Structure 1
C-alpha cells in the first residue's frame, strides 16, 4: 500500500522536526541544602507519653521526600536535671516512657538528639506556662445554599471562650481532633452499582480520628487583648458527612513567643497562593541547633506548652437540610471481622468524654 502526502503536509512535517530539534529540557539550578535534621515535637503538662519525630531534608526532586532518622539517641531534660531517654517506636518516631517525664508549669525543657554519625543537636530551653481553662465551647449552625456540595452547605462552626491572664507576652495555639465511631474496619476500594461499599465489621469498638494537619492552625497573641476575655475564638467547622453526632475535642495550648513565631510563619508559608501580594518566602528555622557542628543548620521546633482540653458533641440531625454527603457502607456478615489497628488515624481507646 502506498501513502500519499498532501503538498501542505511537507510543511507540517518540516516545522514539527524543526520545533522538536530546538526543544531542550530545562533543569533549573536548585539550591542544595544537603542533609539537615528536622525536629517535630512538644512536651505538655498533660499525661504522656510524648512523641518526637525526626527526619532529614533532601534536595528537591519530583518525589520531594524526607528521610527518617534511625537509631538516634533522644532525650528530654528539665531545668531540675530530670532526664527521660526516649524509645524508638519506628524509624523517625521516638516516644517517652509511659511513666516517664511529664511537663510541669514553671519549669523549662530541652531536647537533645545524638545521631549515629556523631552529630549532636539541642533545642533552646522552652518554658512551660499553665494554660487558662476553656470557659465555654459551643457551635453555631449555618446553611450556605450556594455551596456546591451538601457537606459544605450545612456547616457547624465551633468556637471557644477563654480568659487571658494579666501577664503580658502570652501566646495561644488551638488544635482539634474529631473521633468517629465506626462499624467497619476494612472497606472495599470501589463502590458497587448501588453506590454502597462493602465493609468488614470491626472485631472491637473502634474510632476513626480526623484532625487538623496543615493550613488550619488557630494562633493568637495577647498583644492587643492582654488580661481580657477571648470570645468567639473560631476553631473549626464540622461537615455534614453523616447523621451521627459529631464529637470533637479542642486543645488549647499556651506556648512560648518562639513557638508562636515559628507556627505563625509556617502557617503563612503554607497559606501562600503565589499571588503578587503574598509575603516573600522566608527560612522557617526553629529552635534547634547543631552543637557539634555549629555551621550546620537544623530545622523544626521542640516546644513546651500548658494545655487545657474541652469536648463538644454536635447534633447534625436537628438542623441539617437534605442528606449527608458520605461514604455508604454495607457490612458483609459472612466476612468475619477485622482488627481495629492503632494508628494516627484510628484507635480502639474510647475518647475520654465519649459517654458524657
Structure 2
C-alpha cells in the first residue's frame, strides 16, 4: 500500500477553480486507476459542470512540468470522455469540454423539477451512469453575517480571523430535507503601481479561493423538533491577511440535496474529521452514485447530484477590519523590484485569478 494525495474539485460556487489547500494522506492501492466524477445540476441560471479525473497508478508516466519531468500522485484530468446529462423522460444533453477534464452543460438547458436526472459518461468503450436524482422541493434561506476576532487559530494563540455565520431559516416542508453549505471567497488584489510615463495603472486583479476548505457544514431536517424553523450555522473561518485591504466577498450557497447525497457527504465529513480539506478527501472507501454499467464492482469515486440552491453574498472592506494590516505591495522608490513578492507584480501568480471583473461584483 502506498499513500495517495488527492485533489478533488467539489461543486464550486459561482466560478469553478482549483484551490491551493493542504493535502491529507490516505492509504490507497494505486495499482488500478479509479475514475473520479463530480458534478451538480441545480435551479440557478448558470452553466453546469461535470469534472472528470482519475487516480494515478504505480506505472503512470511522469508529467512534463515545462522544464523537467515530475512524478506525482495527483489525479489527472480525463480528456477523452463523452459526457451526457439524461433525464427520465429520455432527453439527452451533450456536455462540451471547456478545460481538461471539465465538461460544461450550458445555462440554456433548463433543469426540470418534475423529472430525475443522471450523468452518462463514455470512456474508451466503457459506460458509467449515476443513479437518477430529482431536484428537492424545498430549500431554506441564509442571513449571512461576519465577526472579526482575535484569539487561538490554527494553534496560534494570537491570530486575527473572521467568522462567517448564518442565521438560517429552515425549509418550510413537511418532508425530510438535507442541507449542505458551500462557501467560496473572492477579493480584489492591489498590484504594485510602478511610476511610468503614461501613468498607467496595473490591471485589475480578482482572486478566488475557499476560506475554510476543511469545514463541511451539514444539516438534516430529520433531527428538527416540531415548531423549530431556524438554526445558526458557523460556515467558515479564515485568518485576516492582506486580502482584506480591499473588497473581500464571501459567497454562500445553501444546497438542498437528496438523502443519498447527504449520506455521501456525511461519510466524507467523517473521514476528513476537520483535519484535512474536503477538496483533498480520501475517497477510497467513499463510493458515490456512479457505477460502470457493465461492471458494478468497479470502484468509482465522487458524486453527481441534483440540488436546489439559495445563495447569498456578503463582503467586507478595509474600513470594516478592526486590525492593522500591513501593505505588502506599496511602491517605494528605494525598494528594488526583486524585493516585491511576485503576487505584487502579476495577477497570474495567483492560481485562481482573473483580470475580468465578476459580473456580480457591484450588485451590492
Cα deviation for residue 265 of structure 1 reads 1.3
Query: Residue 136 of structure 2 corresponds to which residue in structure 1?
Result: 129
Confirm whether residue 171 of structure 1 aligns to residue 178 of structure 2. Answer: yes
Q: Tell me the distance in 2 between the aligned counterparts of 1:331 and 1:256.
A: 55
Question: Larger C-alpha radius of gyration, 1 or 2?
Answer: 1
Q: Tell me the distance in 2 between the aligned counterparts of 1:258 and 1:267.
A: 14
User: Structure 1 stretches (4+) deviating beyond 6 angstroms?
Assistant: 337-343
Cα deviation for residue 299 of structure 1 reads 1.5
Cα deviation for residue 225 of structure 1 reads 1.1
Query: Residue 67 of structure 1 corresponds to which residue in structure 2?
Result: 76
Query: Residue 214 of structure 2 corresponds to which residue in structure 1?
Result: 215
Closer, same or farther in 2 for the Cα pair 1:308/1:347, shift >3 Å? farther
Query: Residue 165 of structure 2 corresponds to which residue in structure 1?
Result: 158
Cα deviation for residue 138 of structure 1 reads 1.6
For the 8 Å contact 2:30–2:55, the answer to whether it is kept is no
For the 8 Å contact 2:138–2:177, the answer to whether it is kept is no
Q: Tell me the distance in 2 between the aligned counterparts of 1:67 and 1:186.
A: 38
Query: Residue 55 of structure 2 corresponds to which residue in structure 1?
Result: 57
Query: Residue 115 of structure 2 corresponds to which residue in structure 1?
Result: 107
Q: Tell me the distance in 1 between the aligned counterparts of 2:294 and 2:174.
A: 37
- Bigger CA drift: 260-269 or 290-299? 290-299
Q: Tell me the distance in 1 between the aligned counterparts of 2:271 and 2:351.
A: 28
Confirm whether residue 140 of structure 1 aligns to residue 186 of structure 2. Answer: no
- Bigger CA drift: 127-136 or 343-352? 343-352
Query: Residue 331 of structure 2 corresponds to which residue in structure 1?
Result: 330
Please give the root-mean-square deviation of Cα atoms over the aligned residues, in Å. Answer: 3.7
Query: Residue 230 of structure 1 corresponds to which residue in structure 2?
Result: 230
Question: What TM-score do you get using the length of structure 2 for normalisation?
Answer: 0.71
Confirm whether residue 254 of structure 1 aligns to residue 256 of structure 2. Answer: yes
Cα deviation for residue 260 of structure 1 reads 1.1
Cα deviation for residue 289 of structure 1 reads 0.9
Question: What TM-score do you get using the length of structure 1 for normalisation?
Answer: 0.72
- Bigger CA drift: 78-87 or 119-128? 78-87
Closer, same or farther in 2 for the Cα pair 1:67/1:153, shift >3 Å? closer
